[in-house]
């Protein structure tokens, strides 16, 4: 029996309206001028957005404006990365090329079409993002304090000293608002007695580490006036009875001991009395330098200098020490020590009639010969062999006439201050 053609028993699907379903697809244009975000194209980076469950979108101008008329941001994240994309607020009509996305609905057999922009996706590592708002909203003051704490903890000694110097030099302007008028009035009152600037032009340049000098002096004795190094109150408290080897505050100086032994005159003249008192004052300066090398209370410092008259101790503390504001602790800092040595050598020049042997003084001060010669040069001395006339005038020993000595001559010629080298 030949096979009989059989008809398919499959039932044809019907339309929802009850009739048979048509194979024709209906196209529907998606209205994207609403707040809802339709299908969107994103362009991932090389590290594609893997492990992202969903993306969120945000409108720059609010959710009540069309998508293509303002900026839109799409974000997504996983455990380690954060993905952010934006269309930069550019509408599809402004682009040369537009993308048309089509989505087919199988139930209604309709194809929904809508235009879309491309959102390039950028990735960010979460571990590199700042935590909290303190770092992102930090001011210049906060950053400066953080750097200072870091430098104090891990910086070098030079860096830590620079941080402390910057803290000391910083001025709180807000604290001076209420007293600025008082300060200006006080400064104006205290500066009325100062000479005008045109009268002080010929007084010489400022050299804070050496005694007050007269650049127009015609004699070595007038270069460094005695009242600029020793006050009248200090000079008057020194009696000739104190100028002996057993009463000197400092006795470990060969230069000092030799000159005290030569003081044999029973009735010295005025110049000899001045030189004898200067020897005691130089001995007091040497004792002060030996004691004040480390920070200590002023009363403790005075207790260690009981053999020095009180006016001299007070003057040395005031001129050659530094202390913290509001504290009674003082310290002979290296710059102040060099200033003390410069004053001491200027007094030695006056005692030795302005010709000194730097080798002996270098041994007494425990310094190198070059350092002592540098201080003498800063005072305007020349390191040279004395002339025959100077040897005869000063009655120098024969064995010293060929040595290089520190000689103060006039007119005074001070070395040019160097901007890179410090005494």
What is the full per-residue pLDDT of the chain (423 aa) written as tens digits? Answer: 444 444 445 555 555 554 545 567 787 776 655 455 667 777 777 767 777 878 887 765 544 444 444 567 888 888 888 888 876 655 555 555 677 888 888 888 888 888 777 778 888 888 877 655 444 445 777 888 888 888 888 889 888 888 888 888 877 777 777 777 787 888 877 776 666 665 555 444 557 789 989 988 999 999 999 988 999 999 999 988 888 888 899 988 999 998 888 875 566 677 788 889 999 999 999 999 999 988 889 899 999 999 999 999 999 999 999 887 777 889 899 999 999 999 999 999 999 989 998 999 999 999 999 999 999 999 999 999 888 877 777 777 776 777 889 999 989 988 886 655 444
DSSP H or E stretch at residue 339: helix 334-351
Strands of 56-59's sheet in order across? 41-43, 118-125, 81-86, 72-77, 56-59
Residue among 309, 300, 356, 304 nearest 330 (CA): 300
> In the prediction, which pLDDT does 328 show?
84
> In the prediction, which pLDDT does 136 show?
47
> In the prediction, which pLDDT does 373 show?
94
Residue reference for tokens 């994240």: 77
| Backbone Cα Rg of the chain | 46
> In the prediction, which pLDDT does 365 show?
93
Please say whether the beta carbons of 342 and 233 come within 8 A: no
Q: Which tokens belong to 118? A: 């491309």
The Cα 188–Cα 264 span in angstroms is 54
Residue among 248, 284, 285 nearest 263 (CA): 248
The Cα 265–Cα 268 span in angstroms is 5
C-alpha distances out from residue 360 to 278, 338, 346, 356, Å: 18, 18, 15, 9
Residue among 115, 112, 73, 114 nearest 94 (CA): 115
């Amino acid at each position: 029996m030949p096979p009989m053609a059989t008809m398919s028993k499959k039932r044809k699907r019907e339309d929802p309206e009850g009739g048979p379903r048509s194979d024709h697809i209906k196209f529907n244009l998606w209205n994207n001028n609403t707040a809802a975000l339709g299908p969107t194209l994103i362009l991932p980076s090389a590290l594609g957005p893997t492990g992202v469950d969903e993306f969120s979108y945000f409108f720059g101008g609010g959710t009540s404006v069309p998508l293509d008329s303002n900026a839109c941001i799409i974000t997504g994240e996983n455990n380690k990365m954060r993905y952010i994309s934006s269309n930069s607020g550019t509408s599809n009509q402004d682009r040369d090329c537009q993308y048309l996305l089509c989505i087919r609905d199988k139930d209604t057999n309709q194809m929904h079409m809508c235009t879309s922009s491309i959102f390039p996706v950028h990735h960010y590592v979460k571990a590199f993002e700042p935590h909290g708002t303190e770092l992102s909203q930090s001011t210049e003051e906060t950053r400066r304090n953080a750097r200072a704490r870091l430098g104090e903890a891990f910086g070098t000694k030079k860096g830590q000293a620079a941080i402390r110097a910057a803290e000391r030099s910083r001025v709180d302007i807000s604290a001076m608002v209420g007293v600025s008028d008082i300060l200006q009035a006080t400064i104006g009152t205290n500066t009325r007695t100062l000479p005008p600037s045109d009268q002080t032009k010929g007084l010489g340049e400022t050299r804070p580490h050496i005694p007050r000098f007269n650049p127009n002096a015609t004699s070595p004795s007038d270069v460094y006036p005695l009242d600029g190094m020793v006050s009248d109150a200090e000079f008057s408290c020194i009696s000739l009875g104190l100028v002996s080897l057993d009463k000197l505050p400092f006795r470990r100086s060969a230069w000092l001991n030799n000159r005290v032994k030569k003081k044999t005159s029973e009735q010295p003249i005025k110049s000899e009395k001045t030189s004898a008192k200067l020897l005691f004052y130089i001995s007091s300066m040497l004792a002060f330098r030996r004691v004040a090398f480390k920070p200590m209370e002023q009363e403790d410092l005075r207790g260690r200098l009981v053999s020095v008259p009180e006016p001299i101790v007070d003057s040395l503390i005031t001129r050659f020490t530094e202390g913290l504001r509001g504290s009674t602790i003082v310290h002979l800092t290296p710059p102040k020590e060099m200033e003390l040595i410069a004053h001491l050598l200027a007094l030695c020049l006056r005692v030795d009639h302005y010709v000194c042997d730097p080798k002996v003084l270098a041994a007494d001060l425990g310094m190198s010969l070059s350092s002592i010669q540098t201080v003498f040069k800063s005072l305007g001395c020349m390191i040279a062999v004395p002339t025959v006339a100077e040897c005869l005038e000063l009655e120098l020993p024969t064995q010293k006439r060929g040595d290089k000595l520190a000689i103060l001559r006039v007119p005074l010629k001070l070395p040019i201050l160097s901007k890179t080298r410090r005494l």
